[in-house]
Amino acid sequence: MQNLVILGSTGSIGTSTLDVVARHPDKFRVVALTANSQIDLMFMQCMQFKPRYAVMLDEGIATRLRQRLREAGQAIEVLSGAAALEQVSVLPETDTVMAAIVGAAGLQPTLAAARAGKKILLANKETLVMAGNVFMDAVRASGSVLLPIDSEHNAIFQALPRGYNGDLAGNGVRRILLTASGGPFRNTPLDELQNVTPEQACAHPNWVMGRKISVDSASMMNKGLEVIEAHWLFNAGADDIQVVVHPQSVIHSLVEYVDGSVLAQLGNPDMRTPIAYGLAYPERIDAGVAPLDLFKVATMNFTAPDLGRFPCLALAYRALRAAGTAPAILNAANEVAVAAFLDKRISFLSIPRVIEAVLDALPVNAVGSLDDVLGADGEARRAAQQQIRQL
């Protein structure tokens, strides 16, 4: 029996995780569920999975949930606040933490889980983008098992040798090929991009995801964040990672070896596959995913990314090469710009402009600790807000 904490249980990854968990009641027990504000869905999840703890970020919402659960006769302890996210992640009874909070809010509980040596299923890529070295050091020091849930990184993990030690060349790997769908605006005429709406940006052709990552996919910042994520997970340099646009999203990524072999992982675009892989690793369990019908796929296409159309991808490579606090600055500026776009305060094309201006304005420092990361994050958020006011 694996005892599971799901950080961000009401989100897209969180609900897909619970879908897989529900198929295997003999294998997984839910210790804690956490969410920002979605009380109705959290209540339903509590009734179905009966965790020991439920965490809501806001104390007022937590009070209402406590009341409703008591009335329903459920003895579930309801906690609130960011500290409670860390608290449930490090409980002695917790074996595995699914890190599925969106954005920088996911960093500290995920890091706490790493320091406590928990098995971590990492969906929250922002953790690695912001604090890659601090987080990877914590994973190594505690001996925590880290399994990537992001579909591309899960594919690469599967295509690398079992027990891969962080030495690409030593394992005969020439490079990593990170596939990208190209998002909803892959073929949109450039002069129309100025006026695209949040609704259009969130209508992804292949994946149903939260709004922030949907906008990131539309700008291809998601792929940029994933390049940085791959750097930390696999100890790969910027030049070792090639982005390949593959609109069908059937090949989830590939590893190219020096002998000419290229190993790929394929499947229907359904996050339950990497989630089930992470949950059951090193075994395989049913994920409820339909078998891949290659005859229906029929054709697969591959093109190089258009950096003129998607400047966010180039900005992410720039931040990766600049190292230190640069990726944390990139991430924070992106979060602020995406939130402003979703609020209809800035246009889609202003997203990369804000990020570039913030990267130009702020100094890049070395990262020695979490405080260095949080300092850069705060500074970049303020700088991004200022850029937005000046637009």
Binding site for Mg ion (CB under 5 A): 150-152
Helix 370-390 with 326-342: angle, nearest 10 deg: 40
What whole-number distance in Å separates Cα of residue 174 and Cα of residue 59?
A: 51
Residue 123 partner contact from Mg ion, ligand NAD, none using kind-dependent CB cut-offs of 5 to 8 Å? ligand NAD
Shortest reach from residue 253's CB to Mg ion, in Å: 9
Q: Quick one: 148 or 352, whose CB is closer to Mg ion?
A: 148
Shortest reach from residue 291's CB to ligand NAD, in Å: 20
Residue 101 partner contact from ligand NAD, Mg ion, none using kind-dependent CB cut-offs of 5 to 8 Å? ligand NAD
* Beta bridge partner(s), residue 4: 30, 96
Q: Quick one: 68 or 211, whose CB is closer to Mg ion?
A: 211
Q: Quick one: 126 or 150, whose CB is closer to Mg ion?
A: 150
Interacting span for ligand NAD (CB under 6 A) from 70-78, 174-182, 204-212, 339-347: 204-212
| Residue linked to tokens 């971590």 | 120
What whole-number distance in Å separates Cα of residue 228 and Cα of residue 206?
A: 23
* Beta bridge partner(s), residue 161: none
Q: Quick one: 13 or 362, whose CB is closer to ligand NAD?
A: 13
Q: Based on the shown chain and the rule CB under 6 A, indicate whether residue 201 belongs to the binding site for ligand NAD.
A: no
What whole-number distance in Å separates Cα of residue 24 and Cα of residue 1?
A: 10
The SS3 assignment for 257 reads strand
Shortest reach from residue 65's CB to ligand NAD, in Å: 13
Q: Quick one: 225 or 384, whose CB is closer to Mg ion?
A: 225
Shortest reach from residue 122's CB to ligand NAD, in Å: 9
Strand order in the sheet with 53-56: 77-80, 53-56, 28-35, 2-7, 96-99, 119-122, 146-148
Which residues lie below 8 Å from residue 345, measured CB to CB, with a gap of 6+? 388
Shortest reach from residue 36's CB to Mg ion, in Å: 21
Shortest reach from residue 152's CB to ligand NAD, in Å: 8
Q: Quick one: 212 or 357, whose CB is closer to ligand NAD?
A: 212
Please give the single-letter amino acid code of residue 368.
G
The residue number whose beta carbon is nearest to ligand NAD equals 11
Please give the single-letter amino acid code of residue 81.
G
Shortest reach from residue 271's CB to Mg ion, in Å: 9
Residue 269 partner contact from Mg ion, ligand NAD, none using kind-dependent CB cut-offs of 5 to 8 Å? none
Which residues lie below 8 Å from residue 106, measured CB to CB, with a gap of 6+? 7, 8, 99, 100, 124, 126, 127
What whole-number distance in Å separates Cα of residue 19 and Cα of residue 17?
A: 5
Tell whether omega for the bond before 198 is within 30 degrees of 0, i.e. cis.
no
Which residues lie below 8 Å from residue 309, measured CB to CB, with a gap of 6+? 185, 190, 193
CB distance 151 to 271 below 8 Å: yes
**Interaction with ligand NAD in 45-74: which residues (CB under 6 A)?**
57
What whole-number distance in Å separates Cα of residue 365 and Cα of residue 151?
A: 31
**Interaction with ligand NAD in 115-144: which residues (CB under 6 A)?**
123-126
Residue 102 partner contact from ligand NAD, Mg ion, none using kind-dependent CB cut-offs of 5 to 8 Å? ligand NAD
Interacting span for ligand NAD (CB under 6 A) from 46-54, 69-77, 98-106, 377-385: 98-106
Shortest reach from residue 280's CB to ligand NAD, in Å: 18
Kindly list the residues in this chain that would bind ligand NAD in the complex (CB under 6 A): 8-14, 35-36, 38, 57, 100-102, 105, 123-126, 150, 207, 209-210, 213, 271
